[in-house]
Chain A
Amino acid sequence: MPRRRYSLTTRLVLSIAAVFAIGGGAVSYAAFAYGQRAAQASFDQLLIGAARQISRSVTPSNGILVTDLPVSAFELLSLAPEDRIVYGVFDSDRGFVTGYPDVVPSEGDTTFETREIEGEPFRIAQVVRPFAERDYGGSAVVLVGQTLRARQKMAAEITRNAMIAAGSFGILLSVLAALAVRAAFAPLRKIERQIQGRSAKDLNPLDLDVPREVESLVAALDRFILRLRRQIDVMQGFIADASHQIRTPIAALRAQADLAAEETDPAALRRIAERISTRSVNLSRLTDQLLTHALIIHRADAFDLAALDLRQVAVQVAEEFDHDQLADASHLELDLPEDAVPCQGDMLSLVEACKNLVANALRHGEPPITLRVGMEGGRPFIAVRDLGDGIPEADWAGAAKRYSRSSGVSPESAGLGLAIVASVARAHRGRLLFARPDGGGFEVRMEFQGGA
């Protein structure tokens, strides 16, 4: 099932849009709440101002209250030009003095309240003015109320203006964000352009000045390019080797075949056929080795080192010889320690390398052949030992080179085998060693980094 892939731009746009949506919602709500509160506060001031003015116009006269309603109070109220007004003046016993008799004072000590009057909500302010006159000792309660149109209009206006400001700011931010995203992606486009502009053969590292965040990407790309180049080098080398090594035996085979075509003597013909057979077997072995080598050098750059026990490698090698090798596999002995020999490595490569060593020993050495595993100086090793003379000391330095002259390209050559083993050892950051053990014979050993 194909995964849905979003471009980075889409992701960024989506997350920025989400941030803006949440922010916008919050701002809208805040603007709305603020607008409501501001409008409420402003017009409440108006109401209380008018109520105070009216309360100032109340005077006790002969024991009752008389109001000389001030025009200015109503002019103040008509600052909310569309709103209906109610007012009422009451004495301390809540007796009606003037105004709207139905707008009675509330029981509590409230200053502001909202009441429904004739189907329309009114905001009502209540002010108490105490008197201490000779003929009147109570107080006057003044109520002034207005409908809410001006408040709602003002609240809506504040909210709208805030929203317009926030919206413009949001648009500006979006533009800036878009520019920022473009700028942030610029290094990626630079890399893309560089890679696209390269010739197919250019496997040099990228030469780019990029921000820190992208540096690791460029480094990874560079590593990748390097590995690619190494592998291509290896492949090219291998193809050169292989063609060189296979061409000669095939030419020899053809020569033998040509001879056979012209030979009439049955005895000579049989000899030629035997030679052809031997050469074919050797060619087949050579091909095997080349392919194994190809597999391993291909893996060497590709495999991941995993923790393993070298004893397992040895056991596996022995088993595989049991299965498909010759009867003289019985000459193979295992010398394994009690404890695990931990090592970082690739099982398949190690097994193939050891098989190579064992095969060489079987072919050229003297039995018994021992497959040894152990630790020496903190370094794990795996070694093959036999009682033969092995490779002369003079050739040790060049023995691990691919098709070295000394080992030649004879059908029985071990040259390629050791080259494989050496490259496996290198891929494990180890090395290939030769030794003459105390008890005589010859030992080839792969030694690895310790501390795994």
Chain B
Amino acid sequence: MTGIGKWVRPIALWAATAAAASAEPEAVKIYGSEAVRDEIVVRSTTDIELLEPLLRAFAASAPQSLVRYEQWNSNPLYADAARACRTGANAADLVISSAVDQQVKLVNDGCAQPHWPVADEPGTGPVANWRNEVFGITVEPAVIVYNSDFVTFDEAPMSRFDIIDLLRPTESRFAGRVATYDIQASGLGYLFAFLDSQQATTFGSMIEAFARAGAVATCCSAEIIDGVADGRYLIAYNVLGSYALNRAETADNLVVVAPSDYTLILRRAALIPKDAGNPAGAAQLLDFILSAEGRRLLAEKHLFVDVGNAEEGGVDVPLATGAAVREIPLSPVLLVGLDRQKRAAFIDLWRSTFRRD
């Protein structure tokens, strides 16, 4: 029988990792003139180069503003934002994270301030938001990626069932060469896995198949996608479509598939912390991101994917129907996955399945 120790330990472990992860950005870049004093501090999990066109365009359109862009990992970013919320000190002006459950929790805990986006150009549609405090700024599918050098189109998985079938044979050549996020290290990986567990009964058979075939759980989108491009992994599951599509622009052998049984759509979430030093600047930047121009610049870097339509550049997104698209709502329902006992149980289940390399 599973003892209590086993329930509790992962929490401690997770907490330790979160604390150990340095409360510092991985990278920092400044946009705009250093001469101006109107600084907007953006703390984000998004890779700098993906947002660069947008930030440059913003800096050009708002010459009085200086954007200090800090790239963070999701868990340390959440820890930092929660700390800033508690102490009121050194808060960012805008926090953007792909771990939308953590963003929702920040709002639920009263750490964000409301913003009413300017009704802008037609065609941008309604803004996804909760309480006008957290806004979905991107459209990014969770996808399957495979290497077409080693996987033929015929055997390529188009859905979760296909992956289960591929892994079923005992002597499957996919054994040990299927990768997915390490849900303990990646807030986004945890979110995707947790939502999978709620979406379909396939989840049980899937992690069973993963376990049998010795699937690899590893950190970070870039590492996983590079591994597939290299041929180290044949298939990656539940990676973020935006990163995969960007990498596929240079790696011809990388094929991106939106699962046809259902595709989770992530809307990267932005919020203005309640103690932001420059909320007006943050609001201005947020409005720019939500504008038609902002969306165009995001789409350039595959952060605003028109799911269901074939992309330019030969990238294959063979989505079956619109009904298979499941947008992750910005709603307090996401809090369930962050419950300490729920999370502990889920991670425990995951850990018992994957061996850590």
Contacts and interface: CB of A to CB of B under 8 A. Distances in A.
Interface of A: 61-64, 66-71, 74-75, 77-78, 81-85, 97-99, 117-120
A77 B334 CA distance: 12
B336 A74 contact: yes
B131 A82 contact: yes
Interface stretch (B58-66, B107-115, B290-298): B107-115
Nearest to A101: B340
Nearest to B2: A61
A141 to B, nearest CB: 15
Contacts of A70: 336
Contact of B336 (A66, A69, A118, A120): A69
Contact of A84 (B110, B336, B342): B110
Contacts of B107: 84
Interface of B: 3-4, 7, 107-110, 130-131, 198, 331-333, 335-336, 339-342, 345
B109 A71 contact: no
28 contacts: A62-B4, A63-B4, A64-B4, A66-B7, A67-B339, A67-B341, A67-B342, A68-B342, A68-B345, A69-B336, A69-B339, A69-B342, A71-B333, A74-B335, A74-B336, A82-B131, A83-B332, A84-B108, A84-B110, A84-B131, A84-B332, A85-B335, A97-B341, A98-B339, A98-B341, A118-B109, A118-B110, A119-B110
A298 B325 CA distance: 106
Given A118-B110, A119-B110, A74 B340 contact: no
Nearest to A82: B131
Contacts of B331: 78, 81
Nearest to A118: B110
Contacts of B340: 98
Contacts of A120: 110
B108 A85 contact: yes
Contact of A77 (B3, B198, B332): B332
A83 B341 CA distance: 23
Given A67-B341, A78-B333, 10 more contacts: A67-B342, A69-B339, A74-B332, A78-B331, A84-B332, A85-B332, A98-B340, A99-B339, A118-B110, A120-B110
Contacts of A81: 130, 331
Given A68-B345, A120-B110, A62 B3 contact: yes
A68 B341 contact: yes
Contacts of A98: 339-342
Given A82-B131, A98-B339, A118-B109, A75 B333 contact: yes
A71 B110 contact: no
A74 B110 contact: no
A82 B4 CA distance: 36
Nearest 10 CB-CB pairings of A with B: A98-B341, A118-B110, A74-B333, A69-B339, A69-B342, A85-B332, A62-B4, A67-B341, A84-B108, A78-B331
B167 to A, nearest CB: 27
A68 B332 CA distance: 17
Given A69-B341, A98-B341, A61 B110 contact: no
B110 to A, nearest CB: 4
Contacts of B108: 84-85
B240 to A, nearest CB: 23
B198 A71 contact: yes
Contacts of A63: 4
Contacts of B198: 71
A61 B345 CA distance: 13
Contacts of A66: 7, 341, 345
Nearest to A84: B108
Contact of A78 (B3, B109, B332, B341): B332
Contacts of A67: 339, 341-342
A98 B342 CA distance: 9
A70 B331 CA distance: 15
Specify which of B107, B198, B332, B340 lies most central, judged by the most chain A CB atoms within 10 Å of its CB.
Answer: B332
A144 B81 CA distance: 25
Contacts of B339: 67, 69, 98-99
A218 B80 CA distance: 92
A62 B4 CA distance: 7
A123 to B, nearest CB: 15
Nearest to A70: B336
Contacts of B336: 69-71, 74
B12 to A, nearest CB: 15
A74 B130 CA distance: 15
Nearest to A119: B110
Nearest to A99: B339
A82 B131 CA distance: 5
A79 to B, nearest CB: 11
A84 B110 CA distance: 8
B109 to A, nearest CB: 7
A313 to B, nearest CB: 97
A83 B3 CA distance: 37
Contacts of A119: 110
Nearest to B194: A71
Contacts of A99: 339
A86 to B, nearest CB: 8
Contacts of A71: 198, 333, 336
Contacts of A78: 331-333
Contacts of B3: 62
A84 B109 CA distance: 8
A81 B108 CA distance: 12
Contacts of B335: 74, 85
Nearest to B341: A98
Specify which of A61, A71, A97, A99 lies most central, judged by the most chain B CB atoms within 10 Å of its CB.
Answer: A71
A67 B336 CA distance: 11
Contacts of A85: 108, 332, 335
B22 to A, nearest CB: 26
Nearest to B132: A82
Nearest to A81: B331
B91 to A, nearest CB: 15
Nearest to B7: A66
Contacts of A117: 110
A182 to B, nearest CB: 50
B150 to A, nearest CB: 38
A74 B198 CA distance: 13
Contacts of A84: 107-110, 131, 332
Contacts of B4: 61-64
Contacts of A69: 336, 339, 341-342
A117 B108 CA distance: 11
A64 B8 CA distance: 12
Nearest to A97: B341
Contacts of B131: 82, 84
A6 to B, nearest CB: 52
A64 B3 CA distance: 11
